[in-house]
Every structure is written in structure tokens, then in C-alpha cells.
Amino acid sequence: MSVSHRLTAPAPGWTTTTDVVVVGSGVAGLTVALNLRQAGLRAVVVTKAMLDDGSTRWAQGGVAAALGEGDTPEQHLADTLVAGAGLCDEEAVRTLVTEGPDAVRHLIATGAAFDKGADGEILLTREGGHHRRRIVHAGGDATGAEISRALVAAVRSDPGLELIEHALVLDLLTDAEGHAAGLTLHVMGEGQRDGVGAIRAKAVVLATGGMGQVFSATTNPAVSTGDGVALALRAGAEVTDLEFVQFHPTVLWLGPEAEGQQPLVSEAVRGEGAHLVDADGVRFMVGQHELAELAPRDIVAKAITRRMAELDAQHMYLDGRHFGAEMWEQRFPTILASCRSHGIDPVTEPIPVAPAAHYASGGVRTDLRGRTSVPGLYACGEVACTGVHGANRLASNSLLEGLVFAEQIAADLIARHRAGELPERTVDVAGARAARSVPLLAPEARARIQCLMSTGAGVIRSAASMATTAAGLAELAAQAHAHAAEEKPADPRVETWEATNLHLVATALVTAAAQREETRGCHWREDFPERDDAQWQRHLITTLAVATGTPVSTPEEQ
């Protein structure tokens, strides 16, 4: 199967060749690349901004792994399955929790320094949905930054690993047999090359991160525009469970007009004993769940949203005043500084918080080796759907998933290479443009997409709200087609490619969410408030219709 839809873009003006091209420089992408290099394979890492500008460095809480006394992978598995609300792939979760402790040790060997106690043992904290302290952290609340630092340092010390920064990936290249054979990309002015080019490769690994920028308020950086999921859909890959977007319950509320990336207030703050309260100081999570403030994220986000609606309030509060200044300064220095920079002092006042889009539990469908439905195309990290998270991600399982399944992908590619199953691929780079070009949306469509999604497909959804969102998205697509027909298309550039990617991902998400007529995990339907295992304890598989280029969701057979 060849790629049938592509972004409108100039023909590649330059070409390079490698064994494997890895797209993304977070924990997943860099772990794949480092493992491949250790086995002697050539690898190119493509990243959209600078090497450390992805989502990994923003992760505050930590990495979940059964490393503590009395803890076991089985207990970690049980907590993950509960959070996933019946849709986790148990085999994938077992891989995660079994391989997890060693993956953390490999990360330490790479140079990551986690927080330790006076006895020299790694400190472990607890987060929502976990019945044990099993969260490894660094710098108090700067775990992602430390992991990113260690991996970036290891990558930069390998002169044989080629890096292409400031590059937006465009589309997959395939050979005559439909096997991934590289990709096209656009390198921005700051990069080593300029303009659209192509990388020919024996395999492609997507590690592009999330799609939080599809909503108005998110914890994701500006680069998280769903590029990997959009590329995969256009390449004919299966995408699964896009409707399950996790809204982090406690994001610093900056006012009704705030848009884009918002400061996260880590779940670890609640793990250490902070309370959620309303304006009157009432702890509204007590009695809602046995774990109160440490209930799984979907439950806490819903409870906050309900309380806001009941009181006609725009936010709730997170109260950690009882921690005292010393604990805030030592355990949560990043959050303390962030709050103070916005005029809020957690030492003396409660923190205003509200839910915001945080993590995509769904993504490009993979097996346990990271293989997608397109031969030679792999995916790991937030862009992938391994089956680990189900309908709701358990806190701090994301960095662990990136580590574990990156190692699975690298092991599979190395084994295929040694068995002679990764031959050079022949691809006509110029001829690839013969695929149907997708008209580009104007840059201003981005804000419209975000508004539509936040209003109609956010924390609370209904058939009516999503129909309005779907109609708005369809109108944007119609405008792009009309402008293309009138020979007034949007110019091919980063802003129009990103807007077009966001539009495709948003449309796919709403298509799936409208079809899932139940409430499960982080998918909350006002019109279908109950979980329906008889009908919906199964995945929705989304693909792109070849004729129309529109997303189609099909329930997996039970």
C-alpha cells in the first residue's frame, strides 16, 4: 500500500540516507537512537525545535516503577489496569511493569541523577491511582528536565549520530511494496539545511509526542501539534483510542483569556498531602473516591469540573500551605517559582487550578514491538497507542512507557538488521508527490480549531457539542478546498502545515468521541453518563478514507 494523501509542499530539494530515521527527541526517540547506535546502526534524529524542547523536559512528577521495598510489578500492573478502565492491553501492561525497573536502571547508567535520601537510596513518592510509593523523581519536581539533560548529553557525545534540529516532518515515503522507506521534512532557517528535503531509510520511528495544542489550554509545549498522528493517518496507518485525552486536574489557572501552554502543578503535590478545596475551603474530593485527592486523574478532573459548574466558578484551589516554606523550596522548587512568577505564593495562599489537556492515551496503533500497521513504520511514546494506558493513563506511566517501548523497538530493529531483514529501500522521492495533496489551512485556523475543540470536545462532551465542533471543522476544510480550487491556496509553510495537522487530528478525535456512546476513563459523555462494557469494552480504530481523506472510526470486533 502506497501513501495516498500528502501535505501540499514543494518537492524535496535535498536527500540524505541512513538506516533508521527517528522523529522526535524526547525520552522515547532518544532512547531508540542511543540503543541503535550501540548496535552499530546508522541513525538520524529529526526534531522540530531544539533537541531538548519536547514534552519530556516539562514532566514534573517522575517515572513509575516497582523499585520500592514490598512493591512488585504485579501491584503496579493492578493499579494500571484499574486506571485504564477496562481498555488496557494486559500483555502490554505486563511488559511495561516487568521491564520498567531495568529501564529506569538503564536510564541511571546513561547519566540521569534521581533524588536520593540520606541513606543513598532513591527516594520514591506517590501519585494518583498508585497504592504504593513508586515514583522516581529528580530535582524535586524537575524529573523530565533531568532525563532530557542526560539523554541529550549522551546523544551529543556520539559523533556518529546525525541530528537535524528545527525540522518539521511532513510525510512518509514508501517503496513499491508499501514499506516505509523514509520521510520528507522541512528544515527551518536555523537548521543545517534549508527547505524541504527527504531522508531515505530502512525504517522510520515516530516519537513525535502529543497533540495537546489541539485544545486552547494545555500543558503541552507549542510544538505538540499532532504531527506524528497526522503523518501516520495520511500514510494509511491505524490510529486507536484518540477520544481518550487526559485532562490534568491541576493546571495553574491564569485567567479566562489564557491560551496555549499553561503551567502544570504536578500530581506529586497532592501525593505529598496537598488538598483540593473550593473557595470556601471545602475538601470536595473527600467521599468522592477512596483515595480522595489521589483518585485517578479522570475522576479528579471530573470532580473539579462538576464543582466549578455547581458554584459557577472558573477554578478550584490546591491548598499546600501546611507544607511550609522549606518543603516547597526543596521538594517543589520549579512549581514554587512558576507560581510566584504569576503572582501566587503557595506558601501563604492556595493555588488556583483548573483542568487542561495534558496527555493523549490514544495514538498510532502498535504491537508490543512498536510496529504499526504500515510495514517498517514504528511508533513509541505519546504518539503511540501500545495498549498500556487504556481509557486513562496512570500517573507517571508515560515516561516509563517511552523508555520500555523504545527499548522494544530498538531490539526489534537490531534483530531484523542482523537477520538481513532491513534491506535498502528503493523509493522515487520526486515521484512521491504524485499522491493526492491535502489543501492547507490558513494559520489563523489554529485558534479556531482550538476553540471548537475546547468548547465541544473537552472535559465534558455530548452528541450536540461534538456535532457543533464537527460542523466547524468541516467548514474549515471546505474553505481550504475552495481556496485551492480558486487557485488561492494557503502558502506551504510551518504555520499552515501545523494548522492542517491539528485539523486532521481534531477531526479524527471528534469522529471517535462521537461514536463512543458511553462514559469511560477520561472520555465523559453527558448524554451517556454510564460505562457500557457490553457494547464498548473495545477499541475504536481510525483510518483515513482513501477516496475522501476523511477519518473513519470502526469498532474493534469483540
Per the structure block, which three cell numbers stand in for 390?
Answer: 487504556
Closest CA to 51 of 272, 285, 223, 300: 223
Per the structure block, which three cell numbers stand in for 280?
Answer: 470556601
d(Cα 301, Cα 307) in Å, to the nearest integer? 10
Closest CA to 45 of 34, 56, 57: 34
d(Cα 311, Cα 440) in Å, to the nearest integer? 42
- DSSP-derived 3-state class of residue 213: helix
Catalytic residue among 6, 57, 94, 297: 297
As a dihedral over the C-alpha atoms of residue 140, residue 304, residue 363, residue 51, rounded to 10 degrees, the angle is -30
Per the structure block, which three cell numbers stand in for 108?
Answer: 541511571
217 CB contacts (<8 Å, ≥6 apart)? 251, 258, 259, 260, 262, 354, 356, 357, 454
**Distances 293 to 141, 278, 329 between C-alpha atoms, Å:** 19, 13, 22
80 CB contacts (<8 Å, ≥6 apart)? 88, 93, 96, 97, 388, 394, 397
Which DSSP string do the residues of 503-556 spell out, in sequence order?
HHHHHHHHHHHHH--S-BTTB-BSSS-S--HHHHSS-EEEEE-TTT--EEEEEP
Per the structure block, which three cell numbers stand in for 251?
Answer: 493546571
d(Cα 145, Cα 327) in Å, to the nearest integer? 20
Which DSSP string do the residues of 166-177 spell out, in sequence order?
SEEEEEEEE-TT
Cβ distance 503 to 205 under 8 Å? Answer: no
Q: 206 pairs with which residues across the strands?
A: 23, 379
- DSSP-derived 3-state class of residue 283: coil
Closest CA to 201 of 10, 439, 18: 18
d(Cα 68, Cα 110) in Å, to the nearest integer? 21
Q: Is 134 a catalytic residue?
A: no
d(Cα 67, Cα 250) in Å, to the nearest integer? 27
Closest CA to 500 of 429, 556, 449: 449
By annotation, the residues acting in catalysis are 297
